[in-house]
Amino acid sequence: MLEASSLAILLIALILDRLIGDPDWLWSRVPHPVVWFGKLIDLFERNFNNEESSGSARARAGFLITLLLVAFAVVVGRWLDLLLGWTGVAGLVIETLVVMVLLAQKSLVVHVRAVQTALREEGLEGGRNAVSQIVGRDPETLDDSGVARASIESLAENASDGVIAPAFWYALFGLPGLFAYKLINTADSMIGHRNERYLAFGRAAAKLDDVVNWIPARLSGILIAIADGSLRGLKRARRTFAVTFRDARLHRSPNAGWPESAMAAATGVALGGPRSYGGEITDDPYLNVAGRHFVSEKDIGVAIAVFWRSMTILAALVAILAILM
């Protein structure tokens, strides 16, 4: 559970990740740890997701393999925890670096900022190319507003999945909790899709991802609302909280609606709405429907400012907890 040493490591990791992020010179030479998780998941999926099997058999296989992989992640995390515990200060430094590379503050902003820059300097086609790197919807169906909206939604959702959730599980359970979360989240992104190939096999991964993100997603919405209030005043914070608690349930995801609703209110735009995945149109409702429906590249800049303020508040909370423990 919560320990002052783990919280201190987390605080330093958050600061380093904000300053350094994921340097291309490093990860172009060695695989990122999440890539290894992905290779492992892909190996099991290719060998055990038999298309000739019944849906129930594939669901059972997916369930057992998901549990096996999560258990493996916990064991590796625990083993590394023990190993680093024997190495004194060097172990603390290595653990801090491990936590840092499994957070995604700066890298997330870099990708979202690239969409803003592409829209401003290259127009719609440039924006479509840039946003295709961070979202799964069909970029060719998006206009300028759709590109900007998609990037803000990605920023909000990944604030939870890429920063707050891994920080939450590390704070509670150390490296085993962090590794287990990253394994589950990676599995959901790879096999948690609602299509013919993955619907049954990836069901357990998708459901488990919903469970482990339940608290972090709501915490993300709260942090974004507080960040908005710290930037624009108490009245604005109350409105953002109201929109978040009203609209979060409208999202088809039990979790993504929290940070996205909060970010919609914080930026003053309507997020969500109809979108196309694989040629199929989904008639999703708007979040903060009273907000502006035309979203510009300037709104991306506002969202980034809110994101960074929420990350500052997160780091401050971690620091306070570390002092109190």
What's the pLDDT at 268?
A: 96
Q: 12-16, 162-166, 188-192, 220-224: lowest mean pLDDT where?
A: 188-192
Q: Which of 159, 313, 304 is nearest to 226 (CA)?
A: 313
Average pLDDT value over all residues in the chain: 92
Torsion of CA 171, 254, 76, 15, to 10 degrees: -40
pLDDT at 14 over 80: yes
Percent of the chain surpassing pLDDT 70: 97
Residue 78 pLDDT > 70: yes
Q: What is the mean pLDDT of residues 96-100?
A: 95
Residue 279 pLDDT > 70, yes or no? no
Closest CA to 6 of 195, 168, 162: 168
Over residues 70-85, mean pLDDT: 95
Stretch 124-134: mean pLDDT: 92
- pLDDT classification of 303: cutoffs 50, 70, 90: very high
Mean pLDDT value across residues 233-238: 89
Q: What is the predicted pLDDT for the residue at 277?
A: 62
Measured distance CA(257)–CA(247) in Å, rounded: 7
Residue 153 near residue 271, CB atoms below 8 Å: yes
pLDDT at site 27: 67
Contact status, residue 138 vs residue 276, Cβ threshold 8 Å: yes
The whole-model pTM stands at 0.94
CA end-to-end span of the chain, whole Å?
11
Average pLDDT, stretch 44-68? 91
Residue 278: the pLDDT is: 59
Instruction: Give the pLDDT band of residue 140 (cuts 50, 70, 90).
Output: confident
pLDDT of residue 23: 77
**198 has pLDDT over 90:** no
Query: So what's the pLDDT on residue 318?
Result: 97
pLDDT of 93: 95
